[in-house]
């Protein structure tokens, strides 16, 4: 099949959740013999030099990077707020990348055009006008639920009002997109169920994040006692979760175990984290290799209080045989049994207690890490998932003949 992927950021380098998820699928489709073309956005926040992408990758995907101005314009944001429109989506709808899509579809045909995230949906009218390709939305999460959950947890009344409006306008747009595309590939079963209920006439499949478990192999040796977190720190749910971890959870841990160590890493560390000075906490900022950082540390902590979709870094840690402590929201999309493949805690007291227990129990860390790896091999092995995705593509093409 000939597949066009429209990406909200470059899938290469795969250095954070979204690009990692996109790149894993791209590499899987290429390995399965499909022809893949990529148009991806560059922005001030996530900017990739085309020359930094390996020539082999550029040749295989014919990747185009299109700069799009996604900087916040307070006046435009206010106008969108007053008109009950999503400013998040407005920024993408005005991008020059749409001209690139139009020019491409005028000269080439595709079997599938896949939108990587809701923010690529402004291209739908162009695709429908110029192409007979089936349009698939790759739903990395349910966007409006992220902001709805964030709004609920926000105490500032003005900020809460804005976030509730954002969630409301996003919801209206998102539900309409679910009903407009030819199919949706959700990243979790829970998301797939939500979409199916919202758009009963749209075919939906659950294709979780996949890894090639033959290429990512756990290192030998004992798992260290340290706690760590790695994630993109310009994502509001990550910042919210780390604030909770540091203010509500960490004091309980350090009180019981003064030698405890917490390591924080990730892209775009905010100033309040970079300048942090808390006993036992080390802020690393962006690290060269996420896998090396994971293997150098012990128990991954993912204190998410909001968000949607699946946490790529959790899957990576589990693939490497590492123990993960997270919340119920953080574990969404993973078919775990609590206490076997993942440790779950939703209150500060329980989170601290489970962290302390894992720090003190080397055998438990090893056992949970081994079981985590087994789950990923069974449920997230990429070649299996690509076969499932291929079948979904073919069903959509057949359905519309």
For 73-105, what is each residue's pLDDT tens digit?
A: 777 777 777 777 776 777 788 778 999 999 999
Q: Which residues pair with 264 in a beta bridge?
A: 229, 283
Q: What SS3 state is found at 118?
A: helix
Q: What is the pLDDT of residues 186-243, one digit of tens each?
A: 988 889 999 999 999 999 999 988 888 888 778 777 778 899 999 888 888 889 999 9
133: which DSSP letter? P
Residue 308 clears pLDDT 70, i.e. is over it: no
Do residues 70 and 44 make contact, with C-beta atoms less than 8 angstroms apart? yes
Joined together, the tokens standing for residue 381 give: 């092995």
Dihedral of the alpha carbons of 123, 129, 132, 137, in degrees to the nearest 10: 20
Q: What is the mean pLDDT of the chain?
A: 90
CATH number for 227-379: choose from 3.40.50.2000, 1.10.10.10, 3.40.50.1000, 3.40.50.10680: 3.40.50.2000
Fold adopted by 2-210+381-399: Rossmann fold (3.40.50)
CA 266 – CA 359 distance, rounded (Å):
22
The neighbouring-strand residues paired with 136 are 114, 183
How is the chain split into domains, by residue range? 2-210+381-399, 227-379
Write down how long the chain is.
401
Distance CA 228, CA 265 (A): 8
Which has the closest alpha carbon to 391: 61, 112, 18, 21? 112
Mean pLDDT calculated for residue range 23-45: 93
- How far is residue 137's CA from residue 144's CA, in Å, rounded to a whole number? 15
Do 2-210+381-399 and 227-379 come out as alike in CATH topology? Answer: yes
Concatenate the DSSP letters of all residues of 139-168 into one string: ESS-HHHHHHHHHHH---HHHHHHHHHHHH
What are the structure tokens assigned to 344, written together?
């779950």
pLDDT value, residue 160 = 82
**How does pLDDT run across 105-154, given as a tens digit for each residue?**
999 999 999 999 999 999 999 999 999 999 999 998 888 887 787 777 77
């Amino acid at each position: 099949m000939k597949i066009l992927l429209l990406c909200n950021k470059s899938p290469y380098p795969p250095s954070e959740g979204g690009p990692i998820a996109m790149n894993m699928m791209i590499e899987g489709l290429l390995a399965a013999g499909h022809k893949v073309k990529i148009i991806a956005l560059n922005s001030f926040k996530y900017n990739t030099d085309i020359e930094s992408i390996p020539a082999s990758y550029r040749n295989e995907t014919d990747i185009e990077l299109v700069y799009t101005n996604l900087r916040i314009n307070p006046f435009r944001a206010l106008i969108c707020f007053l008109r009950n429109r999503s400013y998040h989506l407005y920024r993408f709808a005005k991008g020059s990348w749409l001209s690139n899509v139009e020019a491409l579809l005028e000269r080439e045909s595709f079997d599938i055009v896949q939108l990587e995230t809701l923010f690529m949906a402004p291209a739908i009218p162009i695709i429908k006008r110029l192409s007979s390709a089936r349009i698939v939305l790759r739903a990395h999460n349910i966007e409006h639920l992220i902001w709805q959950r964030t709004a609920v947890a926000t105490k500032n009344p003005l900020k809460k009002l804005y976030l509730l409006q954002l969630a409301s306008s996003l919801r209206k747009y998102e539900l309409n997109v679910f009903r407009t595309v030819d199919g949706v590939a959700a990243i979790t079963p829970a998301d797939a169920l939500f979409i199916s209920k919202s758009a009963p006439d749209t075919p939906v499949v659950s294709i979780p994040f996949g890894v090639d478990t033959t290429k990512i192999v756990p290192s030998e040796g004992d798992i260290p006692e340290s706690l760590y977190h790695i994630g993109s720190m310009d994502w509001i749910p990550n910042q919210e979760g780390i604030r909770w971890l540091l203010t509500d959870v960490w004091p309980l841990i350090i009180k019981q175990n003064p030698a405890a160590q917490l390591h924080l890493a990730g892209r775009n560390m905010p100033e309040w984290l970079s300048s942090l000075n808390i006993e036992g906490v080390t802020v690393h900022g962006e690290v060269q290799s996420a896998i090396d950082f994971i293997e150098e540390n012990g128990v991954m902590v993912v204190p998410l209080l909001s968000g949607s979709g699946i946490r790529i870094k959790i899957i990576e840690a589990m693939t490497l045989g590492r123990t993960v402590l997270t919340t119920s929201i953080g574990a969404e999309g993973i078919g775990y049994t609590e206490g076997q493949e993942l440790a779950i805690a939703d209150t500060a007291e329980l989170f601290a207690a489970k962290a302390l227990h894992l720090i003190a129990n080397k055998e438990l860390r090893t056992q949970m890490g081994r079981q985590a790896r087994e789950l990923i091999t069974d449920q997230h092995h990429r070649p299996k998932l690509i076969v499932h995705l291929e079948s979904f593509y073919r069903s959509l093409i057949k359905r519309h003949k």
